[in-house]
Amino acid sequence: MKTLWLLLVSGLLLAPGPANGQPAAPAGPRPVGTGYPLDLLVITHVNLIDPSTAEVVRDCMVVVRDGLIVSVGKWVPAGRAVPRLNGQGLYLVPGLWDGRANALATAAAERVALPLYLASGITSIREMPSQRPPGEVTATSQLVTSGACAGPRLMLAGPLLAGPLASAGTRAEGRAQATARLAGAGGQRPLVGALLPREAYLGVAAAVAAAQLPLGATCPRA
């Protein structure tokens, strides 16, 4: 159990649960992650939910150092100066992922979406391409990473390799067009549309491999 929770790095959600038949008071800590001001935090007497078994492990101590879970069990660091959060009557789950998000499509959308993700326990998202200028999206990502802006971890998807590529009739054409699109991708993982012809799709895959990038794609219909 300890090993499992060591792998569930940062991203915590404390959810209120029943204690002695009475609703527990809602927890109010800031999410643990990059930019969190405390070097060390101990969550005491909390109930852990193991997502692999759905079992609840009662009365655990969770030690978080520099935004990472370093210990789960009954041990806690000694010293009055160690910040502690009483988790009695609360439940601790690993942070959740949204693998297909559009939180940064507009400036107005991101102001609403980023805090809501954290409030819902979603601590990491994969942001899909949008019509918004890439520089604005990257700037928001940097603010979140630095801790200047509250939000989940952001994995920015690269360009969508679709559209005009659907007219590529050969593998060479698909590869050439994809190579041109990837030149300005900034090393981000591209997405490949499902409507590409088979040969164009294989050409795109070859271009992505040559750029040493992972390929994010839906299953082609061709």
Q: Return the amino acid letter for 181.
A: R
Q: What is the pTM of this model?
A: 0.67
Q: What is the pLDDT of residue 34?
A: 42
Q: What is the pLDDT of residue 28?
A: 41
Spans of the chain below 50 pLDDT: 1-13, 15-37
Q: Are 118 and 31 in contact (CB under 8 A)?
A: yes
Instruction: Give the CA dihedral 179, 218, 117, 25, nearest 10 degrees.
Output: -150
Architecture of the 2-94 domain: Roll (2.30)
Q: What is the pLDDT of residue 119?
A: 92
* Topology given in CATH for the domain delimited by 97-156: Translation Initiation Factor IF3 (3.30.110)
Q: What is the pLDDT of residue 89?
A: 94
Q: What is the pLDDT of residue 36?
A: 44
The whole-angstrom separation of Cα 92 and Cα 179 is 45
Helix (H) or strand (E) holding 177: helix 171-182
Q: What is the pLDDT of residue 206?
A: 93
Same fold, 2-94 and 97-156: no
In the chain, domain spans: 2-94, 97-156, 160-217
pLDDT tens digit sequence for 123-141: 999 998 888 988 899 999 9
The whole-angstrom separation of Cα 60 and Cα 73 is 5
Q: What is the pLDDT of residue 27?
A: 40
Q: Which two tokens stand for residue 118?
A: 């954290």
